[in-house]
Structure 1
Amino acid sequence: MKKEHIMQNAPSGRHRLIHASIASALALISFSVQANPQQSKEKNGFAEIPFYLKNVNEPIGQPRVKHNIMFLIDDSGSMLADAKGEYHVDDKNRKINIAKSALKKILERYKDQFNWGLQTLHNNPRYWKWDEEKRKKDNALYAYAELSSPDDDKGDMKDSDGFTDGSAGRNWEYVRKKVDEMLAYQATPTTRRYYEVVKNFVIPNIKYRCQKSYVVVVSDGDANMSCSNQASGEDPRKSPNTNFNYDRKYYYSNYYRAIDRSSDEVYEYFGPSEVKAYENKHGQGKEFSGIGLKGEVYFDLPNYDPRLDTPEGKKKFQCQYTDYAKDDDSGDWVLLGEKDGKREVKGIGEIIVPYWDRNYEDEKRGMRFFSQTLAEKDIKPAIKSENRLDAAIKPEDRRDAAGKSWDGDPSDPKGVDYSKQLVQTFTVGFGEGISKVGRDYLEKGASRPEWYFNASKPEKLLEAFKTIIDNIETDSKIMKFEGAASTAPVTTSTGIPNMAATVHLNTGSWSSQLRFYKLNRNGTPINTTEFVQPSFNNRLTLVNDGSKTYFIDRVADNEASNADFGISDGSAKDELKLEWKNALLKWTGRVGSDETIKADAEAKGYNQSYRIRPTDPADASKDERNLGDILDGSVASIGDKRDNRQEFLVAAANDGMVHIFRNGTPSNPYDLKLSYIPAGMEREDDQGQATTLGKVLKDVARDGYGSITPHRYMVNGGFVLRQTHDKQTFMFGAMGQGGRGAYALDIGAVANSDRSGWNKTVPLFETEKGSGNKLGYTIGSTQIGRVSIKRDTTPVNLESDVRYAGFLASGYRTEDVNSADNETALYVYDMTGKEAGTKGTGSNVSDAGKLLAKIPVPDGKGGLSTPTLVDTDFDGIVDIAYAGDRYGNMFRFDLRGETPSEWSAQMIFQGSGNQPITSAPAVSRRSKDKYVVIFGTGSEIYHSELDVATQDNAVYGIYDDTSKEAVLAKSDELTGQTVQADGEYISVTNNKVSEDQKGWKLALGSGERVTVKPTMILRTAVVTIRKYKQEVIHTNSSSADVCLPDSTSTQTTAKTIILGVNAENGGRLGLRDARISDKNRQFIKRENNGQVYYASGMVFDGVVNFTYLNGSKADDSPVTADGDSGGTGTDKELNATPSVPNNKCFANQAERSLLTNSDKMHSLKVEGRKCGLKRISWRELFF
């Protein structure tokens, strides 16, 4: 069942909501979930997906379907050497014997958990035996004697027998026996043998729609022998090697020592290679007789002549040696006898065809020509027979061995996609002497970059094997399902809305929808089955590569390149050099249909296959193409209202874009105008190497994204929208796990400038890149506030030297809080470069993006988290900021220095190192200049943090007098409160804070954490506490279908506590406090020694969030009654004599509630003390 839910609060901690009227509202979220249980391989340790999406399915005992693993082992002559390339060594140190030992240990470890296959390059034991007498007599290195006839009982597993099945004589022990028989002799024809193995052994033995297949290729040298060394016109059977004629209907196989034929279906599946056009140009070759090739010909490739200036585009198809000999004295070529009327040059080394035996940059050639297609293109479509790899289609071929369609069956587990059968390839380079070309060949041959392993030392081979099988074991456990999750609701306006914008998340396609529902007067949806969506017909897309910004549909061929997007140029053909433009950017920007882009990419031989995102013109609810997944990225609206909807709505998504919508029509409340890609943002890849967001876009577009290719975070950070009192509208956004930086956009330019110039008018700036970029991953949110850069008078001069400033925490570079790589600092940028004082407002005085200050944090550790900005006197100028670090320290940032160079940071709370602060604090104003800084500890950013049952977190309230130097508080200097269970409700103790104490603390239970900013309602802090638990659920299957196994599903579930505490002491709520009802909108009262108090909170199943709906709020000012002023909203003019808002009682009667995303959409009523009718001054009341 699909559920609608409020989104999970972003790390900034804002309990806010997107809606389309003048009021705060409900945000809902639902999704169809496809979980990926794989542990993050990224060096930064981030969880690949949020915890609540992590689910793993494990078979009970032996899997009901065993997955196929083929080992293709290099048994060439060089495997007789040791890892350093020395041949005169003990037998145990020879690479062939090291490989045998490692393989046998893997087989002994996993036994019959998998179906095993073993083949080599030559099958030497079938034709050769070791001749010890010959070795002694001749001191021969390769002391082999040829058998008089092939020994069919020795050597590789036979194609016709297929993989092991665990039965007697066909189990892992049988494979171990075959391993022992391996001999090392001859050359390295890796490409042709890979092709033969997958065509003749692996593919025919895929028996079930849910069965996965893997090939593990191990080699110690450069691939070779794809061309003939036979005499011109010679019978291929008489030659030790023949051309690899893939594009012909047959070629002579040295492995089988027979003609090997390629079925039409095989050829249609893989498609023609570039060699075909070259062969066609040079004729059909010679016809042979007497070998069963009537009417067919053998093609003999032309030889490369190093004396000629042959272009690379032609040379790569010709037979050639790896080097050619020259005379030492004269320097002339060493010539041999004539061939075809020409003198031949003496060749040195191995015979190769570069197209098949070498890789050039990122061309799809060599083993990769086959392995990439196998990893991406469906092998056994049930209907499209032209793509089948079998020679003929029979009715039974349309079904697997269980009698079910190859395209999946309705009885398959919910959410599971068994519609594709693929083959994935791992490669291992073995030995210290492997060359660069050999390494490149193997790297490109692997299905994923991280699936190449360098086993330079003997012990590394076993380690590589173990890692590979562990990868396969994990990959085989992926379980997709439908479920529910939540991301951050963001307030767009004030009061009670009549429409709510919601996010619908589908992790099957990793897409989102923005849905708009009509709401009742109390903020609940009128009908959750009726909604409207934005329109997407007018979008433009901008790419900022770090140096320039261009439209994707207007970019010239020379303005960017494949390299900018991590794509190889491919061959020398100019068309292939434009994959970035003609495929990737079109797919990303939704220019043309996905089907057209995919077909065009395949026809042109581009580097990857592009996925098709489902669409349904007749049912908008099934459209999965318009937006990428929105997990922790923000959604917010800003601007003047039209038809009760604010002018702009902005969403940040993991398709790599920030999407700017403008007010639309009732049927399409918003219209997407512009999408912005910060492609130059720096990050690391899975191996920890530097890359950019632009170079990761291809992963999101690749067929198999979310399963074969793991989910990628792109633009996953929070942002703030700000409108000035004179209607200038801009934003400042963080990248989250998607990058180390932030971006700023003038979103108002979408309305007030010509769209043809948006590439110049919309981008404001991006943060520094290159060696000067010390930022970590900017997880959390930015903040915006006005600052004075010249405070030489008291009170502050509001007329000039005022700037709109963007505040950015340094974020986290690495998981280790003690690592020096984690900078802990607060960055402050000039947002617009314009004067923001009351005189000369809007005049150009600086540059947008100028760094006003970088405020280092004394003794900070682990990186800084999202700040909170405070305007202490409500004049419109930010005076103070607070932020914590991942070590658990909390800091006050003083922005009242005469110039930004005098801004400083002081620690106000010293953490313990095991209670990370990853969300922004809330502030509660006690009196003039005096605050309680309220924050919780805990994290859910890194994979290792899912299971933190031993970590004890807490909620803290630290007293701070901003008129004085900061006073450092420690945990033992705080008054403790404890949580007390009260039936289904929760209460807390009410200990008073003594004068010598510096605040309060509330201990949380084991595994509980706070990762969102508390919400202040009067002097009540409403805290969201989460706890994750991994549950094991047993599923029985009575079916004979092995794709429906008995299993244990490890599912991550969540509990959420919504808890209100008194801001002054962290204790229980009384008659004078804002308090929260139960799920039935009833207030649970208790009495203790004549004192009435209320239940403080309750527990919800799942990841529950809320939005505070306040019917009395009449504008969208970002400034709260406590002076918190860094969030989204519209600023008022600077005011030297402001009124100070009341934060102790409600000024008027109005409907107020916390609207949750629980199963029943509970609305928790909020009540509190009403202000009296007596007119008193603010100063009398508060100061």
Structure 2
Amino acid sequence: MVSGLENVRVGLMDFNAGDGARALSGLTSITDDSREDLLEAIDKISASGGTPLAESFQDIGRYFISGYENQKLSYVDKNGDAKEAQGDVIFSSQPHWNGVPIPQTGVENGAIQYYCQKSFMVALTDGEPSVDDNVSSILKKYDTPCEGPEGCTHGDDESMDDVIKALYEIDLRPDLKEPDGTPVKNNITSYLIGFASQGLSDTDVMVNAGALGGGGVYSADNASQLKTTFNQIISKVNAIVGSSSAVSFNSTSLESDTALFAAKFDSGNWSGELAAYSIDSDGKISSTPVWEAGAKLDALSDISQRFMLTYRADLDKNNDGVAEGGGVLFTADSAGLDVANADTVSEQDLNINTSTGVAVTDSRAVERIAYLRGDRSNEGAAEDEFRQRVSRLGDIINSSPVYVAKPDAGWETEKFPEASSYSAFKSAKSSRTPVVYVGTNDGFLHGFNASTTGSDGGKELIAYSPSALASTEDEKGLHALTSQIYQHKYYVDGTPTVTDAYIDGAWKTVLVGGLGAGGKGYYALDVTEPANFIAANASSLVMWEFTDSDNNNLGYTFSRPQIGRLSNGEWAAIFGNGYNSTTGDAGLFIVYLDGNDDLGNNYVYISTGVGSSMDKNGLSTPAIVDADLDGTIDRVYAGDLKGNMWAFDLSKTGSWDVIKDASNNPKPLFSTGGEPITAAPLVAKNVVYSHGSTPNLLVYFGSGQYLTEVDTADTSAGGFYAVSDNGKYGLSKADLEIRTLVNQDVTQADGSVKTLRKATGSAVDWSSKSGWYMQLKTGVTPDGGERVVTRPTLIDEVLFFNTMIPTGQVCSAGGFGWLMSVDFRTGLAPTDFAVFDTNGDGEINSDDQGLIGEMVTSGMPNESGFIKGSGVVWQYTGDTSGSTSGRPTETGGGSSAGRLSWEEITPN
């Protein structure tokens, strides 16, 4: 139990030699050291004397109001009358500390510190209450008559259930309220465990106490069962529901069947959920999902129906004696992983057991495969059983859902030869089943039926486990998912990219995804026709995998791949090399999509030369650009962890390279001065000023990092930049016009006051300046440490980007942020229209002009998704609290085109 506790404060008490409880350890934040101290204290506990449960629970209540004993507490007496009494009258005794009352200084600023704090008591007893009548008169009859499901037959001196009920019902700290003054019940939820005593948990006093304490009563007859019980309770104690991923839509405009797809996770049990929500014509999101994929997956009675794949590099799928590599079923027979011949890392991985804390080979790969396929028969608490799951669907944290329906890439208007056949491809696939794809930390990319009508919506169609996840290290690989001592890990944590590409003489729909924080690898799948997701096609559906074993410049694959056509006629996935590679370099990978025979000869790596194994760098998600509109990629832009924005020239076959100076040394377009760039840029034509030189593009990007726990406490600021690429490189902030942010309180239509933002600054003199930039908030202030870690979106005349501000503040979903919207040309508010309703009167008009930022207080906002409504463009944003909100916006053009959540729309 103790090993499973994270981000909590824990104390330990046992029965005092006389009355009540004895404190062995005051409430202390869990660290490695305090965890060891707690375990040592537990080891020293021995059973003796009576079982004064009610007295002990009363003492615990007193401990939780330490420092506030004189405060009046409200309660309802046995007759149903509302009463008040001083805290130390209700809880009339306190626990002992080494034989004396526990000092109040042993409490870290009070046991209950915050209005949002949840407090729990886990009580383990091997017997019913005894020697247990020294409780206050208020508590002794608090539950008389008993309100439990079976009534009460125990004696009047047995008051355990009375005290348990009081702890759950009474607000122990009525002085702690929400910021707006809303009362909050600061109570204690109790979990009771009857241990090593047959039938103890079924006695009426235990049953009633369990029913009244909010947590329940559990039974454990041996150490193995006790471990299971503790794990179940800790899962509930740790549970936090949230979301870190963006949203997706099934259409570009509001129609009768428009739906939003949103993913969530539960950190208590590391389960996930992907749900579809309808959106009405007014842009309102339904509170009830159309379907939930996790619930449907859990309801599946026959797991053999699941179509699950992985990759084998040694597969000879063409039967020509050459190991081209390809997909195999994620099964344990010869058609799949062939675990009888354990000669691959994947199979060795699945034979490892770490449930005892020591890795051993147990030859249970077949059972682990069944478990990962969804079999529940081997789940349990014993060391020879697998980890119990709440859901078959694992947590979805950083992978955003991607909706794929009929082909709509628009290649038929391009100038390259194969474009002429795209219309026929579109027609042939116009009625294919829509699918929403998302990566999860259960080890799989999942594809679910995305229909919002009929009964098939939410049904899993495909699941893919990249072989790059395999590891024989103790706490890595798929075997870790089955371990009884599982601590959360990332697996398929990256957002995939899906588009249509011309490969091997035919149009196909290709999905390329990375592992994100889960590893150093990418994978490519042929998802052209969901009807072909069957066993007979397994080998051809998996096109390839590309990992750090192919090139050690590849780091953790946080860079979302981009797909396009190159000047040599090849179609490729293009991505930054990611973070923490072996070499520490920052560079760009170009991997040909048809590279399924000898992958080592089918990719290109372009180094920036910045970074080393001792001073690591890494390239983030790129933006690909077709500057001359011939249907092929001419230029790529991507930022790195050192704060450089790089330009790569891919316009001429045979001379692809990073932009270099006159001495042939790589030179960035722009440097932020050390602010890391971790999100993709957006590129648009500079329609304001032409320098007379190519490419005359504007590159928009934000700076900041949110990758590790250390980043949460970083109070340095990021920025947002609009930088002109006109052949001039090595630019810095001095070459840009600054925009200054000013917070402004605006009175709303209902009389309340809302804090919004405006931006000030001079017009850009393009003859001497190369763009504009906005410095975000810095320092140890409520809004210090502001940063941009998602890509911007440009719709008509408005550039949208979101900022985030992680905070150490409790009672928040990790922080907050701002929804920003500026004129893409100036970095200021549009001069002739307002973007959003700033005064809360339900209209967007001239009264709302001049402001550019709206605060998101519910959590840190992710990348927004956009969809066209009636006369407005709706902006939907998910945040780290797990909620998704929408607002109407004006963009100056009256219309927008394309699936704006995934494709960048740039004005002409």
Class of the TM-score when normalised by the shorter of the 2 chains: 0.5 to 0.7
Alpha-carbon displacement from aligned partner over 1:501-540 (angstroms, at most 9, x marks no partner): 3334333332223322332123323452654658555312
> Hey, what's the Cα distance between the residues in 2 that align with 1:1012 and 1:212?
51
Return closer, same or farther for 1:1093/1:813 CA change in 2, 3 Å cut-off. Answer: same
Give 1:698's aligned amino acid: H
Instruction: Please tell me whether residue 1098 in structure 1 is matched to residue 858 in structure 2.
Output: no
Instruction: Please tell me whether residue 1009 in structure 1 is matched to residue 766 in structure 2.
Output: no
Residue in 2 that maps onto 1:196: none
Q: Does the Cα contact within 8 Å between 2:806 and 2:860 map onto a contact in 1?
A: no
- Which structure 2 residues correspond to residues 640-659 of structure 1 after superposition, within 5 A? 640=406, 647-659=434-446
Match 1:393 to one of 198, 212, 224: 198
Match 1:968 to one of 719, 730, 748: 730
Match 2:213 to one of 411, 428, 447: 411
Residue in 1 that maps onto 2:608: 857
Match 2:803 to one of 1006, 1012, 1025: 1025
Instruction: Please tell me whether residue 1057 in structure 1 is matched to residue 818 in structure 2.
Output: yes
Match 1:506 to one of 243, 266, 283: 266
Return closer, same or farther for 1:978/1:580 CA change in 2, 3 Å cut-off. Answer: same
Segments of 5+ residues of structure 1 without an aligned counterpart are 1-34, 39-54, 70-105, 120-156, 173-206, 214-379, 425-446, 448-471, 615-623, 684-689, 790-801, 815-819, 835-845, 1034-1050, 1087-1091, 1113-1148, 1172-1180
Return closer, same or farther for 1:907/1:66 CA change in 2, 3 Å cut-off. Answer: farther
Residue in 2 that maps onto 1:934: 700
Offset, 1:111:
13
- Which structure 2 residues correspond to residues 611-630 of structure 1 after superposition, within 5 A? 611-614=387-390, 624-625=391-392, 627-630=393-396
Alpha-carbon displacement from aligned partner over 1:710-761 (angstroms, at most 9, x marks no partner): 21111101210012476511111111010011111112265347x2233311
Match 1:560 to one of 338, 342, 348: 342
TM-score, structure 2 length as denominator?
0.64
Instruction: Please tell me whether residue 597 in structure 1 is matched to residue 378 in structure 2.
Output: yes
Instruction: Please tell me whether residue 633 in structure 1 is matched to residue 399 in structure 2.
Output: yes
Instruction: Please tell me whether residue 953 in structure 1 is matched to residue 718 in structure 2.
Output: yes
Instruction: Please tell me whether residue 709 in structure 1 is matched to residue 709 in structure 2.
Output: no
Give 1:612's aligned amino acid: Q
Alpha-carbon displacement from aligned partner over 1:576-595 (angstroms, at most 9, x marks no partner): 854111x21111111x4x1x
Match 2:519 to one of 739, 752, 763: 739
Instruction: Please tell me whether residue 981 in structure 1 is matched to residue 743 in structure 2.
Output: yes
> Hey, what's the Cα distance between the residues in 2 that align with 1:531 and 1:672?
12
Match 1:1111 to one of 865, 868, 884: 868
> Hey, what's the Cα distance between the residues in 1 that align with 2:512 and 2:123?
46
Offset, 1:476:
9.7
Residue in 2 that maps onto 1:540: 307
Give 1:588's aligned amino acid: L
> Hey, what's the Cα distance between the residues in 1 that align with 2:719 and 2:14?
43
Give 1:393's aligned amino acid: Q
Structure of higher CA gyration radius: 1
Q: Does the Cα contact within 8 Å between 1:541 and 1:551 map onto a contact in 2?
A: yes
Offset, 1:409:
5.8
Q: Does the Cα contact within 8 Å between 1:682 and 1:740 map onto a contact in 2?
A: no
Between stretches 1156-1165 and 511-520, larger displacement belongs to: 1156-1165
- Which structure 2 residues correspond to residues 8-407 of structure 1 after superposition, within 5 A? 38=6, 56-57=8-9, 116=41, 168=98, 209-210=122-123, 390=196, 392-393=197-198, 395=200
Alpha-carbon displacement from aligned partner over 1:269-297 (angstroms, at most 9, x marks no partner): xxxxxxxxxxxxxxxxxxxxxxxxxxxxx
Return closer, same or farther for 1:1104/1:67 CA change in 2, 3 Å cut-off. Answer: farther
> Hey, what's the Cα distance between the residues in 2 that align with 1:980 and 1:682?
50
Residue in 1 that maps onto 2:59: none
Partner SS, residue 773 of structure 2: strand
> Hey, what's the Cα distance between the residues in 2 that align with 1:570 and 1:503?
30
Q: Does the Cα contact within 8 Å between 1:907 and 1:968 map onto a contact in 2?
A: yes
> Hey, what's the Cα distance between the residues in 2 that align with 1:958 and 1:612?
52
Partner SS, residue 492 of structure 2: coil
> Hey, what's the Cα distance between the residues in 1 that align with 2:757 and 2:406?
42
> Hey, what's the Cα distance between the residues in 2 that align with 1:678 and 1:829?
17
Return closer, same or farther for 1:643/1:508 CA change in 2, 3 Å cut-off. Answer: farther
Residue in 2 that maps onto 1:619: none
> Hey, what's the Cα distance between the residues in 1 that align with 2:860 and 2:523?
30
Partner SS, residue 715 of structure 1: coil
- Which structure 2 residues correspond to residues 662-811 of structure 1 after superposition, within 5 A? 662=449, 666-681=454-469, 691=473, 695-703=476-484, 708-724=485-501, 727-748=507-528, 750-752=530-532, 755-770=534-549, 772-789=551-568, 802-811=569-578
Offset, 1:992:
1.4
Offset, 1:895:
0.8
> Hey, what's the Cα distance between the residues in 1 that align with 2:239 and 2:450?
35
TM-score, structure 1 length as denominator?
0.50
Partner SS, residue 459 of structure 2: strand
Instruction: Please tell me whether residue 588 in structure 1 is matched to residue 369 in structure 2.
Output: no
Residue in 2 that maps onto 1:895: 650
Equivalent residues, number = 666
Q: Does the Cα contact within 8 Å between 2:649 and 2:656 map onto a contact in 1?
A: no
Partner SS, residue 736 of structure 1: coil
Partner SS, residue 585 of structure 1: helix
> Hey, what's the Cα distance between the residues in 2 that align with 1:740 and 1:1056?
30
Offset, 1:420:
7.8
Offset, 1:1153:
2.0
Give 1:507's aligned amino acid: S
Give 1:956's aligned amino acid: Y
Residue in 2 that maps onto 1:489: 247
Instruction: Please tell me whether residue 579 in structure 1 is matched to residue 359 in structure 2.
Output: no
Q: Does the Cα contact within 8 Å between 1:808 and 1:866 map onto a contact in 2?
A: yes
Alpha-carbon displacement from aligned partner over 1:688-727 (angstroms, at most 9, x marks no partner): xx8499x532222334xxxx53211111012100124765
Partner SS, residue 991 of structure 1: coil
Return closer, same or farther for 1:167/1:989 CA change in 2, 3 Å cut-off. Answer: closer
Partner SS, residue 517 of structure 2: helix
Give 2:817's aligned amino acid: T
Q: Does the Cα contact within 8 Å between 1:645 and 1:663 map onto a contact in 2?
A: no
Alpha-carbon displacement from aligned partner over 1:832-861 (angstroms, at most 9, x marks no partner): 259xxxxxxxxxxx8667543101014356
Q: Does the Cα contact within 8 Å between 1:656 and 1:697 map onto a contact in 2?
A: yes
Instruction: Please tell me whether residue 1152 in structure 1 is matched to residue 873 in structure 2.
Output: yes
> Hey, what's the Cα distance between the residues in 2 that align with 1:68 and 1:944?
29
Match 2:288 to one of 528, 534, 539: 528
Alpha-carbon displacement from aligned partner over 1:18-42 (angstroms, at most 9, x marks no partner): xxxxxxxxxxxxxxxxx9874xxxx
Return closer, same or farther for 1:921/1:111 CA change in 2, 3 Å cut-off. Answer: closer
Give 1:943's aligned amino acid: E
> Hey, what's the Cα distance between the residues in 1 that align with 2:282 and 2:679?
30
Offset, 1:171:
13
> Hey, what's the Cα distance between the residues in 2 that align with 1:577 and 1:859?
45
Offset, 1:785:
1.1
> Hey, what's the Cα distance between the residues in 2 that align with 1:777 and 1:515?
28
Q: Does the Cα contact within 8 Å between 1:681 and 1:692 map onto a contact in 2?
A: no
Q: Does the Cα contact within 8 Å between 1:1075 and 1:1168 map onto a contact in 2?
A: no
Offset, 1:396:
7.0
Return closer, same or farther for 1:721/1:892 CA change in 2, 3 Å cut-off. Answer: same
> Hey, what's the Cα distance between the residues in 2 that align with 1:1170 and 1:612?
53
Residue in 2 that maps onto 1:1164: 888
Return closer, same or farther for 1:1074/1:713 CA change in 2, 3 Å cut-off. Answer: same
Residue in 2 that maps onto 1:609: 385
Return closer, same or farther for 1:422/1:856 CA change in 2, 3 Å cut-off. Answer: farther
Return closer, same or farther for 1:830/1:65 CA change in 2, 3 Å cut-off. Answer: farther
Q: Does the Cα contact within 8 Å between 1:764 and 1:848 map onto a contact in 2?
A: no
> Hey, what's the Cα distance between the residues in 2 that align with 1:570 and 1:1095?
56
Cα RMSD after superposing both structures? 4.8
Residue in 2 that maps onto 1:1122: none
